[in-house]
Amino acid sequence: MGDDLDLDAMLQRFKERARAVRDRPLPPIGGEERLRFIEQAQLDFQDFAIIGDAEADVVDGILTLSIDLRPPEVQG
């Protein structure tokens, strides 16, 4: 699987998913349902954006995503 997996394309798809979630219009709902929708959208955006910003590598058939969660001022 690792030989035919395009890691750059995979990460790009996650970036696109993050943008799609961020730009998704709110459905015509209100109250608690609206709050749950917004909360889920925020979590989806966060998850997709984090993976989209990862560095990916496949070694011996194991996909590894490296994600630097440190503040920008301390990243190396």
Q: Where are the domains of the chain?
A: 7-74
Is pTM beyond 0.85? Reply is no
Q: What's the number of CA atoms in the CB half-sphere (13 Å) around residue 66?
A: 6
Strands (E), 1-76: 55-59, 62-66
pLDDT tens digit string along 11-55?
999 999 999 999 999 888 889 999 999 999 999 999 999 999 999
